[in-house]
Structure 1
Amino acid sequence: METSELHDFLLDQSKLAVDWEEIKERLQPKVLTINGIPVFLFDLIFNIANQLIDDQLVISLQRPFATVPMHVHPYIELVYVYQGTCTVQINEQPIELAQGAMILIDKMTPHTVLETRPGDMVIDMKLRHDYLSSSFLNRLTGKSIISQFLINSMIDKRRTNQFLYFPLDGVKKTGQIMEQLMCEYFDRGVCSHDIINSYLVILFTELVRHADIRGAASPGRRQEDASIIDFLRYIEERYRDCSLVEMAAQFKFHPNALSAILKRATGKSFKDLLQLQRLNKAALYLKNTGMPITDIAEEVGYSSMSFFHKKFKEVFGETPSEYRNRKGE
């Protein structure tokens, strides 16, 4: 399927009706109470033809005039406005999504997509936990602590009722990636699974560039979450000689306060984040260059080879030499 054919395909699929009352009657989903709100537990997934499916990744379409009941599910959902607009309600908060916008909704977060109009085309992508915990996540998070924070915030059991909102005003690239991904998904051929995974990695990485984290409990917390991106980007860019004191001074925080914010948001201390970024860079050099390991250690900020070897093995489960030899197989 070419991108020029995608619109007509989605238009034909949008004509299929869906009756949520009939679905509720047939499947008898459990009703939970979350934050005082009664919600349905939908642990089953329907494909674009409105058939039950058990895949780890499913892309479907919101039907016009169909309001999905307030619900939760044990998987992550990405809502993407391919055409028109839509309103997503999370808990009691309505969020207006314009064309091109995306929103990632964490598992077990009460939400609904309100009734759409005939001209609206709203895409739902379901990602089960097993899918995200596979080698896909390693490809995505291995190079960037920002990526790691964004994805971990979605799968970490300590964080609940969260979402990531990407307005993407004027950003065309993410829409183009989604089109290519959907074309491959709806018209599969040789190596489609690998191609779809690659598009997802590109999509999630592109979203990192346009991160606008919202959905926390208060304006103060939303500001803190937005600041996390700047904090992590600072570590990424200055990992060779970054210090907590200098970083705190840069952002006008007390070092202890900054350290507490990082720990609360990522589950890791400043030192842990710094080590992780250095080691990720070292792994990148080991995989893609012939630099001596001593030079790599120095390049990423380690003056002690024994300490570098110790930390590398703690994170990757093998020595730098073993990692390089295995990656070269």
Structure 2
Amino acid sequence: MHEIVHEYLFNYNKIEKKQRKTGEFVMDLPLHSFDYDEDRMILSDHYFLKNDRIYISKHNRFAAYPEHTHRFLELNYMLKGNCTQRINGTDSVLKEGQLLLLDQGSTHSIEPLGKDDILINIIFPQTKFDIEWLSHMHAQDNQLFQFLMRTVSEKAKGEYIIFHAENNQDLQTIMIQMLNKYFTESTFGNEILRFYLPILFMELVGNTIYTLSSDTRESSANLIVIEVLKRIEKDYRDITLDSLAASLSYNTSYLSEVIKEKTGIKFTELVKEQRMKQAILLIDSTDLPISEICYAVGLQNKTHFYKQFKDYYKITPGEYRKRTKI
């Protein structure tokens, strides 16, 4: 970590000195940055996301932060020590190296941090501030990634995910680099941070164990669908629901119902999504004729392929290729 950043994070600022002395919370935000609804503070997206910039801050230590909610996604990173938060009425402990992703509408309060507890807040600027946005990042070809995001965005607004990243050294390195870029105000720092975000979330989703607040009673079904999505990603060319159900030792009707319930769409639509994403990847990255791409993604009928592609992308494969070559 850069020396300037270390000093900023670990030294006491004016607010922390006051809170350490009195133990009472001191508001560090201007009045126009929040509203109140039935005594609950609502942090404003207009303040934190102005100028379309990534916002990173250190959470002030030594006093409890009152219950509040926000109209944006918030990521908490426990750089050092640990903290107790009450999220949607349930106490959770965030340990060193872990991250907490809060969907908009989540309500939480934070118990006082000690001198060795460093909590970082990260807020992303986007036009749609919910977890569904994550499916539009660079990892959009990963259906497991989309499934995790759908579970929160479709099933329960105001939910959260804890990523148990304490043993993921690559992720810790990414977080330190992001903090260095932000707090040293380096040239093109915000632009560089925008590239770090998808890398960060791909590392979280791909290589980090997580706890999803809404899945405690549905973990078995989640595991089934995760395996289904893995199979679709690998075998999308010729996979069928019957063959998949047989290989997983499940009744076809039951498996179909679980997939629809957990993802919000049918098995056939999941397969179609994967085929269309592979098709556009081949159009972008190769000079293969459209007819060969059709067969490459598992469709034998060229007319059917053209119809699916246009239904999905609102443009024909040929038109898309011409547009990208301009």
Q: TM-score, normalised by structure 2?
A: 0.84
The residue type paired with residue 40 of structure 1 is: M
Tell me the equivalent position of 1:124. Answer: 121
Q: 1:177 and 1:265, CA in 2 relative to 1: closer, same or farther beyond 3 A? A: same
The residue type paired with residue 80 of structure 1 is: Y
C-alpha displacement at 1:80, in angstroms?
A: 0.9
Q: Deviations over 1:175-215 (max 9, x none)?
A: 11112222223334444343212111111111111252421
Say how many residue pairs are matched: 317
Tell me the equivalent position of 1:327. Answer: 324
Tell me the equivalent position of 1:31. Answer: 37
Counting only pairs closer than 5 Å after superposition, residues 67-78 of structure 1 correspond to structure 2 as: 67-78=64-75
Counting only pairs closer than 5 Å after superposition, residues 48-63 of structure 1 correspond to structure 2 as: 55=52, 57-63=54-60
Residue 136 of structure 2 is aligned to residue 138 of structure 1: yes
User: CA separation in 1, counterparts of 2:172 and 2:114?
Assistant: 20
User: CA separation in 2, counterparts of 1:281 and 1:13?
Assistant: 52
Tell me the equivalent position of 2:77. Answer: 80
User: CA separation in 2, counterparts of 1:268 and 1:123?
Assistant: 36
Q: Deviations over 1:114-143 (max 9, x none)?
A: 221111111111235516689985343432
The residue type paired with residue 136 of structure 2 is: N
C-alpha displacement at 1:14, in angstroms?
A: 5.6
Tell me the equivalent position of 1:224. Answer: 221
User: CA separation in 2, counterparts of 1:226 and 1:212?
Assistant: 13
- Contact 1:214–1:225, Cα closer than 8 Å, also in 2: no
Q: 1:149 aligns with which of 147, 150, 166?
A: 147
Unaligned runs of 5+ in 2: none
C-alpha displacement at 1:65, in angstroms?
A: 1.5
C-alpha displacement at 1:258, in angstroms?
A: 2.3
User: CA separation in 2, counterparts of 1:260 and 1:301?
Assistant: 24
- Contact 1:107–1:154, Cα closer than 8 Å, also in 2: no
User: CA separation in 2, counterparts of 1:135 and 1:4?
Assistant: 34
Say which SS state the counterpart of residue 109 (structure 2) adopts. strand
Q: Deviations over 1:230-279 (max 9, x none)?
A: 33222212212222223223333322222222222222211111111111
Say which SS state the counterpart of residue 70 (structure 1) adopts. strand
Q: 1:59 and 1:236, CA in 2 relative to 1: closer, same or farther beyond 3 A? A: same
Residue 259 of structure 2 is aligned to residue 262 of structure 1: yes
Residue 266 of structure 2 is aligned to residue 287 of structure 1: no
- Contact 2:71–2:129, Cα closer than 8 Å, also in 1: no
Say which SS state the counterpart of residue 280 (structure 2) adopts. helix
C-alpha displacement at 1:55, in angstroms?
A: 4.4
User: CA separation in 2, counterparts of 1:23 and 1:165?
Assistant: 26
The residue type paired with residue 6 of structure 1 is: V
Tell me the equivalent position of 2:95. Answer: 98
Q: 1:187 and 1:310, CA in 2 relative to 1: closer, same or farther beyond 3 A? A: farther
- Contact 2:5–2:184, Cα closer than 8 Å, also in 1: no
Say which SS state the counterpart of residue 41 (structure 1) adopts. strand
Larger radius of gyration: 2
User: CA separation in 1, counterparts of 2:184 and 2:72?
Assistant: 24
Say which SS state the counterpart of residue 166 (structure 1) adopts. strand
Which has the larger displacement, 112-121 or 315-324?
315-324
- Contact 1:287–1:328, Cα closer than 8 Å, also in 2: no
Counting only pairs closer than 5 Å after superposition, residues 245-260 of structure 1 correspond to structure 2 as: 245-260=242-257
Q: 1:81 and 1:24, CA in 2 relative to 1: closer, same or farther beyond 3 A? A: closer
Q: 1:140 and 1:40, CA in 2 relative to 1: closer, same or farther beyond 3 A? A: same
Q: 1:298 and 1:171, CA in 2 relative to 1: closer, same or farther beyond 3 A? A: same
C-alpha displacement at 1:106, in angstroms?
A: 1.0
Unaligned runs of 5+ in 1: 33-37
Tell me the equivalent position of 2:299. Answer: 302
Q: Deviations over 1:1-41 (max 9, x none)?
A: x6454323322476643775646995673235xxxxx7432
Tell me the equivalent position of 2:42. Answer: 41
User: CA separation in 2, counterparts of 1:176 and 1:101?
Assistant: 13
Tell me the equivalent position of 1:171. Answer: 168
Which has the larger displacement, 236-245 or 2-11?
2-11
C-alpha displacement at 1:56, in angstroms?
A: 5.1
User: CA separation in 1, counterparts of 2:12 and 2:223?
Assistant: 37
- Contact 1:56–1:130, Cα closer than 8 Å, also in 2: no
The residue type paired with residue 94 of structure 2 is: L
Say which SS state the counterpart of residue 275 (structure 1) adopts. helix
User: CA separation in 2, counterparts of 1:179 and 1:171?
Assistant: 13
Residue 234 of structure 2 is aligned to residue 215 of structure 1: no
Q: TM-score, normalised by structure 1?
A: 0.83
C-alpha displacement at 1:162, in angstroms?
A: 1.6
